[in-house]
Amino acid sequence: MNIKKIGISAILCASLMWAIEPIFAKLSYINSNFLQTSTIRAIVVTLVAFLYVLITNKGNLKVPKRQFPKLVYIALAGTVTADLLYFYSLTKIPVINAVLIGHMQPLFIVLIGFFILKEDKLTKYDYSGILIMIIAGLLVTGKTITNFSVLKLGSSGDLIALLATFVWATTAIVMKKYLTNMNAGVVTFYRYSIASIVFIIYLLFTSSIKISNLYQILIGIVVGIGTILYYEGLKRIKAAQVSALELSTPFFATLLGFLILGESVTIMQMLGIVLLFFGVFFLSK
């Protein structure tokens, strides 16, 4: 199997993991809260990542000093902040909303690259992709024509998921720019081990750390595998291709949300999924 096929396979498998993640998260909230679940999840992901490092990198966790601050940023922004916001949003909105909003990352990556990093010029394709993805987001959060008629275009949960997506986009840029040559297991290990320390310290002072259900462990295993596969795929194929392939996640999530959680999807939300594809297509041009 050539490098491109390996990259594509890795991203598709990671997308399936991303779709399973919010399902397990919702199920874990039956007798736990999003903070407890996030803590157990981070600890389990750390263990999965360490096992991967043992297999692929002989257990070597050394990183250059100049790269460690980047790992700390990815941990604090991507896991402590964005993941926590995302899990909190899942307590307020359906899985399909959270997943689709989360997959608007390419929109923010383009905008950050243009306005903050000052690295890229926006083309007509970029402007078209941005407009289409904004419309897609409104369709997903609005859900029905009735909501549009009274300008009810989302909830606080949708806004929180959107904020999480923006923060994730900043970590994706840091990863692609500075850490693509680092072992995927090492990146994942530091991202979640640093976050685990933060979560554990907070919970020790505010409540307690306990495993309330099996889903908290399963979500850690799923996220650990998904994150490693994502980083491995990101090394092998273009960022635009990664973004396009990741859009298989909403379809997996929609199906799983319907079969397991009984969540319904409106016609407008399905249209939003289709438009999301077109938006990423234009951004990748």
Q: What is the pLDDT of residue 76?
A: 96
Whether residue 273 contacts residue 254, with contact meaning beta carbons closer than 8 Å, is answered with yes
Q: Between 235 and 34, name the one with better pLDDT.
A: 34
Q: Which residue has the higher pLDDT, 119 or 77?
A: 77
Q: How many residues make up the chain in this entry?
A: 285
The pLDDT of residue 119: 57
Decide: residue 207, CB within 10 A, 0-12 exposed, 13-18 middle, 19+ buried.
exposed
d(CA 90, CA 156) in angstroms, rounded, equals: 11
Is the pLDDT assigned to residue 154 strictly greater than 80?
no
What string of DSSP letters covers the chain?
--HHHHHHHHHHHHHHHHHHHHHHHHHHTTSS-HHHHHHHHHHHHHHHHHHHHHHHHTT-----GGGHHHHHHIIIIIIIIIIHHHHHHTTTS-HHHHHHHHTTHHHHHHHHHHHTS------HHHHHHHHHHHHHHHHHHH-SHHHHHTT----HHHHHHHHHHHHHHHHHHHHHHH-TTS-HHHHHHHHHHHHHHHHHHHHHHHS------HHHHHHHHHHHHHHHHHHHHHHHS-HHHHHHHHTHHHHHHHHHIIIII-----HHHHHHHHHHHHHHHHHT-
pLDDT of residue 116: 65
Rounded to an integer, the average pLDDT of 186-200 is: 95
pLDDT for residue 19 = 87
Model confidence at 281, pLDDT cuts 50, 70, 90, reads confident
pLDDT tens column, 143-152? 777 766 555 6
pLDDT digits (tens, 9 = 90+) for 52-101: 999 998 888 999 999 999 999 999 999 999 999 999 999 998 887 888 78
pTM, entire model: 0.82
Is the pLDDT higher at 193 or at 106? 193
Phi-psi group of 58: left, alpha or beta (phi > 0 → left; psi -120 to 50 → alpha; rest → beta): left
Structure tokens at 149: 């008629």
Q: How far is CA 232 from CA 45, 110, 174, in A?
A: 16, 22, 15
pLDDT of 208-261, one tens digit each? 888 999 999 999 999 999 989 988 887 787 766 676 677 677 777 777 887 788
Q: How far is residue 78 from each of residues 131, 227, 277, measured CA to CA in Å?
A: 26, 12, 24
Question: By percentage, how much of the chain surpasses pLDDT 70?
Answer: 88
Which of 8-12, 211-215, 273-277: highest mean pLDDT?
211-215
Please give the structure tokens belonging to residue 38.
Answer: 């996030």
Q: Is the pLDDT of residue 50 over 90?
A: yes
Residue 215: per-residue pLDDT:
95
The confidence score (pLDDT) of residue 152 equals 62
Whether 121 has a pLDDT exceeding 70, the answer reads no
Give the rounded distance of the alpha carbon of 217 from its chain centre. Answer: 18
When pLDDT is cut at 50, 70 and 90, the band that residue 153 belongs to is low
Reply yes or no on whether the pLDDT at 122 is more than 70: no
